[in-house]
Structures are given as structure tokens and as C-alpha cells.
Amino acid sequence: MRRFKRNCTNAEGGKCLGRSSHLLNKVRSRKRSVAPTTTNDTLIDVGWGSYWMGLITIGTPGQTFDVDIDTGSSDLWIPGVQCGTPCGANHTFNSSLSSTYTALNKPFSIQYGDGSNVAGIFGNDTVCIGGICIANQTFAIATSANGMSTQVNDGLLGMGYQNIATGGEMPVVWSMYLAGQLSLPIFAFWVAPVSTGSDTGELILGGYDTTKYTGYFAYASVTTKGYWEFIADSVTLTIGSTTTTIATSINAMLDTGTTLGMIASSAYANEIYSMIGATYNAAIGWYTINCHTQPLTAFPNITVTIGGVPFTLTPPMYLRIVGNPNNYYCLCLLSTGDFYDANRQPIWILGDFFMRRFYSVFDM
């Protein structure tokens, strides 16, 4: 399981800057060049919920890639034939096989919060997701990488704003939106709440799936455009009738590129660890809990309130049982990390193990 893969293009003092998240924002006008549509890209569960891959094609004829869908970055990059084993993956892009490829001779590099990094060159070609294609889309071809050799995904599709794209290029989903190819200027992300090793999720461009949720959406405006960033009202822990407030009015983001349920600054995370009885296990690099001798009901619920609506994780949602029926413990899917947004303000990351419990719609 990976812990997080945040874009560290804007770094200061060794700390990542500038990510954001939101659910729905204000609809803006767009130019229609073709009849708008909606497409559904099936997502594949990798590593029992570690991350989620979607299918895209690049070039003419299309070359197929299974990319990690990441709302916490904005670049599209795929492995080139030169990268080989360091890029991991199962598919590589051969520019000589595409009749629509244009070389840009512009270098590309990106570093992520888990220490991995990729370098290569930018190019232009036709990129398709589902039935929607965009011509002359800028993307990166990786020629070298570190920390990627065990990955099964063929690169990464960033879904953030243009101003955090490392080369200043327009991200794919935004290109589709600005070309008027989406029925609505939104995309929606859903994955199954419990992994079975084979279940899937979906990324919908231009719409959302009403069969995947009940109730109504909570709205949170984007506060800093770059990553998808919003203000969460509060974070609380509840055991029985006792509720403890950990933080109020926090900067937060929804990040499909982070496996963990939540990453908070050390002060807040340590308070949560204390309340749930988590201790750091240096041998495995995780905070763990003794859930063998006490039931999961003994641990608190963790609630993040957004737009006045509580989003609650029960203990089975933020703990993962490891071991066998006679000897096991629980990994804590909450982590500590001092991250900052583009305004140098501390920011909480709400990752896959949070998002998989709720349906998320991103309004461009």
C-alpha cells in the first residue's frame, strides 16, 4: 500500500505546497466546438484500494494506457519506451507509431510527496478517455523514474487546475471542458467502499451517476484554485455520547492520489493518535492499534463536517486488520504530514479511504 503521492512541484523547506479540493463550484461559460457528451471510464482497484486506474488512449492509432487517476496533480504523463523497468507499468508510448504526434523538445520533471519522481519530455498528440478525444493535447513522456518500478499503472492522469501543471499545459479534462465536449463542466469520482481485490469504480466526465449515492450533495466552494481546496467546518472524534473537537475551519483537499483516509499536521494527528490509542511501529513505518484484545466499537468515529454536513468514518473505515484470526493488529489509515497550500497555509489531505465512502463531484 502506498501512503500518498502528492505533487511536490512547488516545494519550500522540503514540504509540499499548493494542493486543494472541493466538491462543487460555480458553473462557468464555455465555448462549444462539438456536440457535448458524457463518458464513463471504468476504474480498476489496485492493491486492495491503494489506488485506482482508468483507461486512456494516446496517439493515432490509439496506444492504450492504464493511468492512475489523481485529483491532486495536473500533468498527464506516461512511460516512454526509453524508461523501461524504472517506470514500472505494462505499456509504453512509442511516438514513432503515432501519425499525430508532435515533439515539443521541452523537458518535464515532477516529484511526489512519497519521494518518487519522474523526468522526460513534453509532446502533443490526441488523447481519448471513453468516447471523448482531444487533439493536440500536451502530455509528458517519461524517460526516467525513481520509486516507480513496482507500480502497475502506466503513468498518471492529473485532474487539477492548470496553474499547478509543471509545464503550464492545460490538463486533459480542462481541455475537453473548454472545447465544449462535456455536457456539464463537471467530473465525478466513485469507487467501491470495500475492496474485494477485483471490484471497480468509475470516473464520469460531464456528469454523475445518481445510482451511486443517496441524499443530497454538500457544496464547498474552491478557495484556492490549483489543487481542489475548500474549507472544512470541523474535525471531531466521538465515543459514545462524548465528542471532542480536533480542529475547526481547516483548509482541506480531496485527493485520489493519496491512499490514506486522512493526513493532518503533526499536532492534530498526534491528538488523534492519542485518542484512538495508536502507536508508531518503526519496523513497518505505520501507526498501529491493538484491535485484537478490544472490539472496534471501542474506538471513536471520526467526522469531517463540510458545508454543514457531517461525513463520518467509523473505525472499520479508517483501520485495516493485518494478520491472521489468531494474531492480528490494525493499521491506522491516518497519517501525519505538515503540508501547505499555495498560500502557505496548513492543509489537510482527505484521500482514497475517505473518498471511497462518499460520492464526489468536481465542478470546473
**Residues sharing a CB contact under 8 Å with residue 184, sequence separation 6 or more, in sequence order:** 27, 38, 206, 207
Closest listed residue to residue 144, CA positions, set 179, 120, 173, 114? 120
List C-alpha distances in Å: 206 to 132, 153, 171, 193, 203. Answer: 10, 24, 15, 23, 10
* Euclidean distance between CA atoms 251 and 306, whole angstroms: 11
Task: Tell me which of 66, 70, 125, 154 is the catalytic residue.
Answer: 70
Q: Are 261 and 350 in contact (CB under 8 A)?
A: yes
| DSSP-assigned letters across all residues of 112-178 | BTTS-EEEEEEEEEEEEETTEEEEEEEEEEEEEEES-TT--S-SEEE-S-GGGSTT-PPPHHHHHHH
* Euclidean distance between CA atoms 225 and 218, whole angstroms: 19
Quick check: is 255 catalytic?
yes
Alpha-carbon radius of gyration of the chain = 20
Closest listed residue to residue 356, CA positions, set 261, 274, 280? 261
Task: Tell me which of 255, 341, 352, 363 is the catalytic residue.
Answer: 255
Question: Cell 526509453 belongs to which residue?
Answer: 82
Quick check: is 199 catalytic?
no
DSSP one-letter code for 227: S
CA quadruple 22, 161, 317, 204: dihedral, nearest 10: 90
* Euclidean distance between CA atoms 19 and 16, whole angstroms: 8
Asked whether the bond before 86 is cis by omega within 30 degrees of 0, the reply is: no
* Euclidean distance between CA atoms 291 and 235, whole angstroms: 23
Q: Which residues are catalytic?
A: 70, 255
